[in-house]
Structure 1
């Protein structure tokens, strides 16, 4: 009989102790709930204030969202730490900071890539190396920037697919921003036959590009005799046009067509590659009459 009563007595005693502890901590719990409410209000107000200030300064929308979120997270961390000290009176600030330090190391190691991309995203947003709508090239990726978040850059490829590029990849690697300015210079190679006059060919090519619609007329056309190729003298032809990939393709198309027409009209040959074959022994050729010739 005693064996049956003892466990019930122990359980009842533990429940009574827990109830007494809860009653004693009731003021602390109420204060903790009020502190969480105050934390929510402060986080909301500070986030809204940061958003208004940055919007009025014409900052990037992505940067506005990121900084407002960072401020709210910071306020919530402080509020939760203070709440923990209220609910658990034995938890001193020293113990809390020590535990937070060990925990932050463990979390940092576990989420290293996430934090790296998060920090890279802030640095990209603050540095403003590119804008929404810019065409960029990074490593083997190219496309138009649609959005920059604190973790990823949304890149729309020219074939239509959307690629989410980790910000650390863009921050650590060279990035070509094709549309940083409204115009950029492009070039093509044009070859003419060795028998043609170099100065005359240069003049024809230069005049052919003067009137194409996509050329920036504020900057000159440049034509340079570049090298002696296997079957032609090559010219480097350079001019300025719009900076988007579509404008580049359109301008190249017009330039090639105009140069080809101008060289044909001037009677200047654009040579095919020539190959000379030699044989160690005389070559025997069978004629239609069935005889052999050498």
Structure 2
């Protein structure tokens, strides 16, 4: 039966054939089901090519959306043959502009997410610092970046903020350098203090031997010389903390055994007249009680 003789819905002067309407609905439904297959297949293909899970998830989702959009366009054209496709696209463009103006921040996060996933400045599982937030990246989607902080909190940061901020990727390399500052009295034998500290650091299993640890004088004052001990360890927060937790007691124990003392901190405080009077009131004996 041709579409000309098929039953039709009449809406004023507009007549819509039922066969075309059902066929258009079928095209849209079939396009929706195929878009899910496209999304799953594209995701597997990208992961097989070595792409990060976040990259595969985002771009497979975009591919599914594009396929579904095309299916909806074809289905509407079949269901409403009297409506020109160019008119529909033009109307859709106007609606897109209006939505874009009303949701600039949402679209900004969307495009920032696409750029970050494509460029991959970090991956899921990396430990990063974004502003004051430090932790492990557990998800990157089209809206936000999800970080689990080192104290167990779940933080959602909009992609626009992450894209425009300075990002420190702690696990960007396999090794990271840590520094321990030692304050030594000015009369200390610094060559011996350096040798004892380096021997103690080399004996810690968590410290890498390549590059080797080092120690240099980094500051001086009237009574104190600063010795900076630097060493390399694994780049994760746990590896760094374990290395520091082992290196500091090792240096202190070695210094105690070698008779090397750390400088005792002294503070010089300048007090104003009001503070001097307040201290005097606290230290002066109370006046005798009159009966």
- TM-score strictly above 0.5: yes
- Of the candidates 111, 115, 138, which is equivalent to residue 146 of structure 1? 138
Name the count of aligned residue pairs.
265
Q: How many angstroms does 1:235 deviate by?
A: 0.9
Kindly indicate whether residue 103 of structure 2 is the aligned counterpart of residue 111 of structure 1: yes
Aligned to 1:158: 150
How does 1:36-115 map onto structure 2 within 5 Å?
36-115=28-107
Could you say which structure has the larger radius of gyration?
Answer: 1
TM-score (norm 1): 0.80
Tell me how large the CA RMSD over aligned residues is. 2.8
Q: Which moved more, 1:32-41 or 1:204-213?
A: 32-41
Structure 1's 243 and 25: CA in aligned 2 closer, same or farther, altered over 3 A?
A: same
* Structure 1 SS opposite 2:17: helix
Q: How many angstroms does 1:41 deviate by?
A: 4.4
Structure 1's 70 and 264: CA in aligned 2 closer, same or farther, altered over 3 A?
A: same
Q: How many angstroms does 1:22 deviate by?
A: 7.8
Structure 1's 242 and 88: CA in aligned 2 closer, same or farther, altered over 3 A?
A: same
Residues 228-261 of structure 1, C-alpha deviations (whole Å, 9 max, x = no match): 1353100111000111112212211222212222
Residues 91-146 of structure 1, C-alpha deviations (whole Å, 9 max, x = no match): 32332222122111111122222222222222222222222222111101011111
Structure 1's 276 and 104: CA in aligned 2 closer, same or farther, altered over 3 A?
A: closer
Residues 37-80 of structure 1, C-alpha deviations (whole Å, 9 max, x = no match): 34234423432431332132132223222222212211222222
CA contact (8 A) 1:231 1:272 kept: no
Provide the C-alpha distance between the structure 1 equivalents of 2:142 and 2:16, rounded to a whole number of angstroms. 44
Provide the C-alpha distance between the structure 2 equivalents of 1:116 and 1:139, rounded to a whole number of angstroms. 19
Structure 1's 227 and 48: CA in aligned 2 closer, same or farther, altered over 3 A?
A: closer
* Structure 1 SS opposite 2:212: coil
* Structure 2 SS opposite 1:43: helix
Kindly indicate whether residue 200 of structure 2 is the aligned counterpart of residue 176 of structure 1: no
| Structure 1 segments unaligned to the other structure (5+ residues) | 1-16, 279-294
Aligned to 2:286: none
CA contact (8 A) 2:20 2:78 kept: yes
Structure 1's 53 and 194: CA in aligned 2 closer, same or farther, altered over 3 A?
A: same
How does 1:1-294 map onto structure 2 within 5 Å?
18=10, 25-229=17-221, 231-274=223-266
Structure 1's 144 and 158: CA in aligned 2 closer, same or farther, altered over 3 A?
A: same
Residues 201-228 of structure 1, C-alpha deviations (whole Å, 9 max, x = no match): 2222222212112111232111001111
Residues 174-218 of structure 1, C-alpha deviations (whole Å, 9 max, x = no match): 111111222211101111101112222222222221211211123
| Structure 2 segments unaligned to the other structure (5+ residues) | 1-8, 271-291
